[in-house]
A and B are shown apart, each in its own frame.
Chain A
Amino acid sequence: MAKSPETNGHIDPAKAYPSKSFFIDMLTQDIGLSDCILDLIDNSINSLVVRENLDVMQHLIEGSKAPKIKATIDITFNPAKFTISDNCGGISLSDAQNQVFLFGKPKVDKTHAGLGVYGIGMKRAFFKIGRQIDITSNTIEEQWKISINVDEWESKPDKWEFDFADHQVKKAPVGKTALTVARPSPTIAAQFGMKSFAEILRARIASAYALFITSGLSITLNSHTVTADLPELVESAEIKPVRKLFKEDGVDILIQAGLTPRSDRTPRGWYVFCNGRLVLPANQTDQTGWGLDEFPVFHSKYNHFYGRVCFRSKDVRKLPWTTTKDGVTRESPIYQKALSEMRVQARPVLDFFNRLYPDDPAESEQERESFDKAKPTSAEKAASQPNTPFQAPPPKPRDDVSVKIQYSRPKKQVKKIAAHLQRPNMSAVRVGEHTFDAFYERYCK
């Protein structure tokens, strides 16, 4: 090719700089408001994990004692302002200077089973929420403050820093961080004004951090404490949920599956956790294998199916979570491995449901009975047992099974039989059984 005479062989390279609006307006499009707030909670929990070497999965895997968390995360919001504050340890000045505000983590922490993965959550969250951001934090030794006027910061395309508004060396008993975002966009303000949003957020927090809350973490939302929400499993001498723990490429994978109590009316499915954080609740889609590879499509007869998969690793990049932590990365070989094991372990559970709801309901009395008899137990308790396959009573040989007979006869005649037996209050069902037994006694024995 001929060289262009003007450039004399030299041409400027194609520019590939990031623009601020990419972070402020674009990345924030891909994530919902509640997921953003969850990202901020993840950050708070992560500093707790790092400071206290906390691992809420450890006791499930080892069968040891559950950790006791003593920390609080408070979230308040109204159409004008959003605040999240915690006493999870605070952020040191050096971390704030060199790490916390970078867009994307250059280095991954491989020493804690934490919740911070990509280094984008907090920035994406505060840009999503509003235009004025104030962060204060103190460790037990020092405190600092950063204020960001997003409009101003955006107008300086080459400035990729946030200035400190304050820094002091000052002792404190507990490390704390508070993030306030003001001047929300009209759509965000409208959401903050809706009661339904608060309820959605509460439900998300209650399930996403259930394992942390049950370990003692307190999360409040507009001054109301959020309680953990997780389905239970049933257990009895006859029915036992499966528990299978294995390791794949440095990731611990714990699979549990069984039946939720009869009284639980919510259709369940698979729940996927990464380092204790729920990333996929009540999944009934092909993300967790339903309808794939001979695993059936979810059906109302599987409403009581509860499967739980917990991934744990100190190398958080190995975990199959997406940047928004509201789903799984399906291509991850570790997730694929888990998926095949989930299929294997869950098949006997689904077989039980198939027996429980056969074409002829009379054939399933035995299954119904053992299901009714099974008592609820927490999945955490079941998790800390040794590995065990799913157990359910084997189907009885057909002869022993009783069948239901249903028919109608004139009320008058039924009453007459009851009167003849000198038991005028006898129910129609009893009359039916009595006459059947009498016939059997007389002619068939």
Chain B
Amino acid sequence: MDQPTNSFKQFHYGLRPSKQVERKIIIEVLHRLGRASFDVSEYTYLGFGSVYFVDFIMFHKYLFMQKMVCVEWGEIPKRMKFNKPFKFIELKMMKMSEYISRIKAKAKYLVWLDYDYALDPQNLGDIDGFITALAPESIFLITLDARPKLPKEEKYDTSEMTKEKRLEFTLDIYNEWFRKYLGRDVTLDDIDARDCAPLFYEATIERIKQSLATRPGLEFIQLFHFLYADGAPMLTIGGMLGTPADRERLERKNILSHPFARTDEKYLEISLPPLTVREKHWLDSRLDKNLHLDKLAFELDEEDLLDNYRAFYKEYPTYAEAML
């Protein structure tokens, strides 16, 4: 190795600290909805569980939600059932697209489509389905892998291609899928970058608008727009299906201007400096706007990292091994 190790600057992916911060931010903002008399604790949470059910546990504990539906399409029905943390969680072993047709027309939902793959016609179809089916005041969140990755199907297999060929191939397919949402061609600039979050954002928002065209009086009141990377860059977009009056309520109670809320194409980047517990405690006890890099008791590469810590110190997760 010709350079000293840099891996201490990274988190263990398994801990997914940014994801955890994202969850806490969402909870913080949703919590505030109570001020505008949207009682999220009465909503039904609908999401993918995975065997850990992290979102379910957190939304139950911190948002006091008690109606929850977990939709899972894996081939692990026994594991899912075994790991279900609360009895009231309804487990549905089916595809999300199948569950959409069972949405109750009058119930308010908090839906989080937490995909680990990129935008494609399948999840655009899911977006369409939910925006068509969800009752007003429901909250809809979607997370996508923000890289231009095609579905894992034989016809999209690019593993044998050169980088140029792969981009060209992806561009063709993306044009076929997304041109109708952008009203313009998808270009190389859209996909040849660290991520194509702006492209996915634009297509998703347009998809939502088109689906809402059949629901006069309703709009998508955007609350969330995050980009974070515990490994792959991930994009989250979320908001409420509401009326102009709902928007006004949210505005009046300063929810749309909450520091973590994002109501347009500018995303909030969740980026955390990896810190030891000791470093974190040191920082926490001294943190204010006057704290700068040169005053730290330890090295931190950039002022940005410190700013990020300042932004997320409340949500910053600390992990410890526990014997349970």
Contacts and interface: CB of A to CB of B under 8 A. Distances in A.
Interface string A227-254: 0000000000000001010100000000
A337 B214 CA distance: 5
B101 A336 contact: no
B132 A340 contact: yes
A328 to B, nearest CB: 14
Q: Is the interface of B mostly helix, strand, loop or mixed?
A: helix
B129 interface: yes
A355 to B, nearest CB: 10
Contacts of B95: 348, 351
A19 to B, nearest CB: 40
Contact of B121 (A294, A336, A343, A348): A294
Interface stretch (A101-109, A312-320, A389-397): A389-397
A295 B214 CA distance: 16
Interface in A377-410: 389-390, 394-395, 397-398
Nearest to B153: A359
Contacts of A351: 95, 97-98
Interface string A340-357: 110111011001000000
Contact of A347 (B105, B129, B211, B215): B129
Interface in A296-339: 333, 336-337, 339
Interface in B78-134: 93-95, 97-98, 100-102, 105, 121-122, 124-125, 128-129, 132-133
A340 B208 CA distance: 12
Interface string B44-81: 00000000000000000000000000000001110000
Among A244, A343, A347, residue most surrounded by chain B Cβ atoms (within 10 Å): A347
Contacts, number: 62
Interface string B191-229: 000000000000000000011011110000000000000
Contacts of B102: 389
A397 B76 CA distance: 8
Contact of B101 (A293, A348, A359, A397): A348
Given A246-B105, A340-B128, A347 B214 contact: no
A217 to B, nearest CB: 34
Contacts of A293: 125, 128, 210-211
B124 A294 contact: yes
Nearest to B78: A397
A244 B215 CA distance: 18
Contact of A348 (B93, B97, B128, B213): B97
A347 B93 contact: no
B121 A344 contact: no
B214 A336 contact: yes
A273 to B, nearest CB: 20
B203 to A, nearest CB: 11
Of the four ranges (under 10, 10 to 19, 20 to 34, 35 or more), the interface on chain B belongs to: 20 to 34
A294 B204 CA distance: 13
A192 B76 CA distance: 65
A392 to B, nearest CB: 8
Nearest to B92: A394
B128 A333 contact: no
Contacts of B125: 293-295, 343, 347
A347 B216 contact: no
Interface in B12-65: none
A351 B98 CA distance: 8
Interface in A195-242: 242
B154 interface: yes
Nearest to A348: B98
Contacts of B124: 294
B152 to A, nearest CB: 13
Contacts of A389: 98, 101-102
A246 B215 CA distance: 14
Nearest to A355: B95
A253 to B, nearest CB: 12
A343 B75 contact: no
A322 B129 CA distance: 28
Given A295-B125, A398-B75, A341 B97 contact: no
Contact of A390 (B93, B98, B128, B129): B98
B213 A336 contact: yes
Interface in B161-219: 210-211, 213-216
Given A344-B128, A389-B102, 10 more contacts: A294-B125, A294-B128, A337-B214, A340-B128, A344-B132, A345-B101, A347-B97, A390-B98, A395-B75, A397-B76
Interface of A: 242, 244, 246, 293-295, 333, 336-337, 339-341, 343-345, 347-348, 351, 359, 389-390, 394-395, 397-398
Interface of B: 75-77, 93-95, 97-98, 100-102, 105, 121-122, 124-125, 128-129, 132-133, 154, 210-211, 213-216
21 contacts: A244-B101, A293-B210, A294-B122, A294-B124, A333-B216, A337-B215, A339-B214, A340-B128, A340-B132, A340-B214, A344-B100, A344-B129, A344-B132, A345-B101, A347-B101, A348-B95, A348-B97, A351-B97, A351-B98, A390-B98, A390-B101
